[in-house]
Amino acid sequence: MYRYDEFDAAFVSERVEQFRHQVQRRLTGELNEDQFKPFRLMNGLYLQLHAYMLRIAVPYGTLSARQLRMLAHIARKYDKGYGHFTTRQNIQFNWPKLVDVPDILAELATVEMHAIQTSGNCIRNVTADHFAGAAKDEIEDPRPVAETIRQWSSLHPEFSFLPRKFKIAVSGASHDRAALRFHDLAVEIVKNDAGETGYRVLVGGGMGRTPYLSYVVGDFVARPDLLAFLEAVLRVYNENGRRDNIYKARIKVLAHTLGPDEMRKLIAREFAEIKAAGTLQVAEAERKRIAAYFAPPEFDVLSDETPHSADPDFATWLKTNTHPHRAKGYAIATISLKPIGGVPGDCSHQQLDALAALLDDFAMAELRVSHEQNLVLPHVRKKDLPAVFARLKSLGLATANAGLVTDIICCPGLDYCDLANARSIPVAQRISERLAARQEEIGELKIKISGCINACGHHHAGHIGILGVDKKGVEFYQLQLGGSAAEDAAIGEIMGPGFGEHEIVDAVERVIDAYLKLRRDGERFLDTYRRIGMEPFKNVAYLEQLHAAH
């Protein structure tokens, strides 16, 4: 993984002291809350319902054993013993004190971690495919590109007060595991007809109140030109993005108001000039320097045999939670943070420490954080899988449900979040408990739950999406069907009126029962929905309609 050099280390340390100074000025009143808020957000610090919340970046989702131990330490020393992994490769602590945050950041800096730009109207932490460097379908590891962008975007003098937040994702594989089409900007590593590697750039995706899928603005950006191209996009956005209405301020609104032709024209003009100036060229030497940090480990020559275990649960876990690796004799393993009936994405300090020990004991350098709020072991020797499974099982981390109906993406909702209108976690817990016994029969089905229109739980991209709303002080839940964040990206369609908190789980179950009756061989829920549409599901979801039909 990337290691800081002296410049990176000094930068992060100075940023900590800068924030310490900002906190002091807030506590003495030199800064009022309105003034302080953008600066604390740019360091990942929110004020939520119960307390402050600190969002720490896990750059492109990669964590070492040392970093896991530090996160466990912070959970114990400054928080309440656990952290929450989010949909953008961050970990959040829900209970830090403002006065402690500078010390937390200083401790994080010792393991090359930070909370820089994990919130605020700036370029957010850059995310990448969580199978980077391991996936069989990969053209190139996206993390060097993500790190290059991270450096360029850190305290960017021109783009730190954008109209709204700006999220970038990078992928180098044919399958989209990074929700590219839902990002403000996505970089896809591609090869052109001449066999050269370059970048396809998409702009204007997003969820929230008005969801959009992004479109291509750069078909093939040459390697040295990537930052010049991104700077061009950001300048077009900073100058033209709306600032009169917070709900229309994201680049998705600009991109879809102007349309692809006009957007491309504006970007091309800036790009030509920035490129001609030459100062933002990504030098091949620097690209290689960064890429070298992400060189794959030396893979042993191993047998590709499927391992066996006496534990009857192992076979199920092997089937659902391991994925093809590019090296023979290796596998990628998903560590589910979705125990049946548990809180999606939460991880205790004991689990964090134990995962660090797991990495050490099985000679693995890193683990990954996925946008689906799970963890990933990118390079597991197949022969180690039974022992790794046994260890995970003892930690409560071996739930065999990756990609299944209980592997639910869920925002913190009204249990923690100041913006939420309804709870999300209890809905996820009850769906998980209700459907766990049938999840293998149901097959791949992605449920995503948000507690408000901001869509942190990606409900627009769920095969089944659930949106919590407030109806005169009472929690209500809208169903959406047919969304996807993968390469077949789509925005889900709203079914109709919402369901009460005691109806929503039944409604979801009835929709799934209908799918089981209507599906053809091998069809996922999403495929069936795309074939037959909303009507058959709507007809069973609402009890009144069900009764009327009988």
Interactions with other proteins, residue window 334-373 (CB under 8 A): 339-343, 346, 348, 350-351, 353-354, 357-358, 361
CB of 282 to other proteins, least distance (A): 9
CB of 426 to other proteins, least distance (A): 5
CB of 158 to other proteins, least distance (A): 5
Binding pattern to other proteins, positions 114-133, x when CB under 8 A? -------x------------
d(CA 166, CA 185): 8
CB of 438 to other proteins, least distance (A): 19
Q: In what order do the strands lie in the sheet with 346-348?
A: 45-47, 52-57, 90-93, 82-85, 346-348
CB of 518 to other proteins, least distance (A): 31
Output the CA–CA distances (angstroms, integers) from residue 505 to 12, 294, 317, 430, in the order listed. 45, 43, 26, 7
**Count residues contacting other proteins (CB under 8 A)?**
93
Residue 255: closest CA among 286, 292, 217: 217
Of the candidate residues 24, 27, 487, 543, the single one contacting other proteins (CB under 8 A)? 27
Bridge partners of residue 381, in order along the sequence: 330
Return the number of other C-beta atoms located less than 10 Å from residue 308's C-beta: 11
Cα four-point dihedral sign 64, 66, 68, 71: negative
Of residues 414 and 445, the one with the C-beta less far from other proteins: 414
Position 99 contacts other proteins (CB under 8 A): yes
Tokens 């794959």, residue? 296
Of residues 129 and 475, the one with the C-beta less far from other proteins: 475
Stretch of 10-18, 205-213, 254-262, 303-311 contacting other proteins, by CB under 8 A: 10-18
Contact (Cβ atoms closer than 8 angstroms) between residue 364 and residue 355: no
Cβ contacts of 283 within 8 Å, gap of 6 or more: 224
* Interaction residues for other proteins, span 137-166 (CB under 8 A): 151-163
Strand 90-93 relative to strand 499-500, pairing: unpaired
Stretch of 14-22, 137-145, 435-443, 514-522 contacting other proteins, by CB under 8 A: 14-22
Position 535 contacts other proteins (CB under 8 A): no
Q: What is the DSSP string of 339-405?
A: -TTS-TTEEEHHHHHHHHHHHHHTT--EEEE-TTS-EEEEEEEGGGHHHHHHHHHHTT-----TTST
Of residues 162 and 467, the one with the C-beta less far from other proteins: 162
* Interaction residues for other proteins, span 382-401 (CB under 8 A): 391, 394-397
Position 97 contacts other proteins (CB under 8 A): yes
Residue 116: closest CA among 107, 108, 124, 106: 124
- Which three-class secondary structure state does DSSP give residue 185? strand
Position 82 contacts other proteins (CB under 8 A): yes
- Which three-class secondary structure state does DSSP give residue 52? strand
Position 536 contacts other proteins (CB under 8 A): no
- Helices and strands, number each (H, E), in the chain: 17, 21
Of residues 33 and 304, the one with the C-beta less far from other proteins: 33
Stretch of 34-42, 182-190, 306-314, 370-378 contacting other proteins, by CB under 8 A: 34-42
CB of 32 to other proteins, least distance (A): 9
CB of 487 to other proteins, least distance (A): 32
10 Å CB burial of residue 547 (0-12, 13-18, 19+) is exposed
Position 453 contacts other proteins (CB under 8 A): no
* Interaction residues for other proteins, span 254-283 (CB under 8 A): 273, 277, 279-280, 283
d(CA 523, CA 527): 6
Position 439 contacts other proteins (CB under 8 A): no
Of the candidate residues 107, 415, 440, 509, the single one contacting other proteins (CB under 8 A)? 415
Position 239 contacts other proteins (CB under 8 A): yes
d(CA 459, CA 446): 10
Per-residue tokens: 457:
């739980």
Binding pattern to other proteins, positions 467-486, x when CB under 8 A? ------xxx-----------
* Interaction residues for other proteins, span 167-226 (CB under 8 A): none
Of the candidate residues 191, 265, 289, 471, the single one contacting other proteins (CB under 8 A)? 289
Stretch of 297-305, 314-322, 420-428, 486-494 contacting other proteins, by CB under 8 A: 420-428
CB of 310 to other proteins, least distance (A): 17
Position 414 contacts other proteins (CB under 8 A): yes
- Which three-class secondary structure state does DSSP give residue 81? coil
Q: Which amino acid is at 305?
A: E
Length in residues, the chain: 550
Per-residue tokens: 465:
């999406």
CB of 112 to other proteins, least distance (A): 15
Residue 341: closest CA among 210, 437, 416, 422: 437
Of residues 154 and 171, the one with the C-beta less far from other proteins: 154
